[in-house]
Amino acid sequence: MLKIGGKDVNSRLFLGTALYPSPQIMLDAIRASEAEVVTVSVRREGQGGENFWKQINQLDCHWLPNTAGCHTVKEAVTTAEMARELFQTNWIKLEVIGDEYNLQPDPFRLLDATRELVKRGFEVFPYCTDDLVLCQRLLDAGCNILMPWGAPIGTGRGLSDPYALQTLRQRLPDIPMVIDAGIGLPSHATQAMEMGFDAVLLNTAVAQAEDPVNMAAAFKEGVTAGRRAYEAGAMPVRDIAKPSTPVLGTPFWQQDKGDV
């Protein structure tokens, strides 16, 4: 069980709703993933109108609306207010993009928008880089959750800087952290969970797979395996070999020279 944003969820896989070949495949993939937290872009997918809302309302899940496509504090705050009214939730995945090439968050505007939204009563899930100082400042601004990227959005590169992510996890051990963006394979999600992160959020890796429904099920299993491995406790990494069967104290029969 994961407690996040004041709610309890069983699944540690969060899934998005964009880029699927059809609405039905999107619904089938989300169900196959067993995700209980689903993110939706108010600015982009809201353009689908009433039909889109009817489709996604078939799902029994917690909605995590996001501010994808926003570049300024004003845009992000306005979009968040729209999302709260539409979805009846104070949850918001805050995205304030600073660079169009790699869709990297603007750390300065992200922090300003966070302060404003926290004052307005939002539970902010900030999409951020893996910079430790930025993450600390976001917590100071009132965030209870962090969503550092694994790699730039939609790249599928996995965890580009495991050292930085591991540093975050070690320095902020009690903060719920969701790896968001850049995950391309179930093994990437497993790696994140093995490192002790609380959940992963992804979209493109499932939506753009040849078989989104089967890929969603694969990610579900990858997340579960990674979490179990973390809870089980991994063996230490060593620089030299160590036999699984110890030699010390084991009797050896001396070979007779005549047998050679």
Report the predicted TM-score, pTM, of the whole model to 2 decimal places: 0.88
Residue 1 in tokens: 């069980």
Q: Which residues contact 123 (CB under 8 A, 6 or more apart)?
A: 5, 6, 90, 91, 92, 144, 145
Ranking 9-23, 182-196, 230-244 by mean pLDDT, the lowest is 230-244
pLDDT digits (tens, 9 = 90+) for 15-38: 999 999 999 999 999 999 999 999
- Say which amino acid occupies 96: V
User: In the Cβ-directed half-sphere of 93, how many Cα atoms lie within 13 Å?
Assistant: 30
CA separation for the pair 63, 249 (Å, rounded):
60
CA 254 to chain centre: 58
Ranking 34-48, 133-147, 205-219 by mean pLDDT, the lowest is 34-48
What are the binding residues? 154, 181-182, 203-204
Terminal C-alpha separation, the chain? 62
Residue 27, CA distances (Å) to 35, 36, 150, 183, 199 in order: 11, 13, 25, 20, 21
CA separation for the pair 218, 112 (Å, rounded):
38
pLDDT digits (tens, 9 = 90+) for 150-174: 999 999 999 999 999 999 999 999 9
β-bridge partners, 93:
66, 125
What are the binding residues for 1-deoxy-D-xylulose 5-phosphate? 154, 181-182, 203-204
Residue 24 in tokens: 């039905």
pLDDT digits (tens, 9 = 90+) for 76-135: 999 999 999 988 999 999 999 998 888 899 999 999 999 999 999 999 999 999 999 999
Q: Are the CB atoms for 94 and 125 separated by under 8 Å?
A: yes
Residue 239 confidence (pLDDT) above 90: no
Residue 45 confidence (pLDDT) above 60: no
CATH of domain 10-232: 3.20.20.70
Q: What pLDDT is recorded for position 42?
A: 83
CA separation for the pair 144, 118 (Å, rounded):
10
Residue 50 confidence (pLDDT) above 80: no
Q: Are the CB atoms for 179 and 159 separated by under 8 Å?
A: yes
- 26-42 burial, b for 16+ CB within 10 Å, e for fewer? bbebbbbbbbbbbbbbb
Q: Is 93 a catalytic residue?
A: yes
Q: What pLDDT is recorded for position 73?
A: 97
Domain segments of the chain: what residues? 10-232
Average pLDDT over residues 180-190: 96
3, 74, 93, 257: the catalytic one is 93
Report the percent of the chain where pLDDT is more than 90.
77
Residue 207 in tokens: 């939506």
Q: What pLDDT is recorded for position 245?
A: 73
Q: Are the CB atoms for 127 and 94 separated by under 8 Å?
A: yes
Residue 198 confidence (pLDDT) above 70: yes
Q: Are the CB atoms for 122 and 114 separated by under 8 Å?
A: no
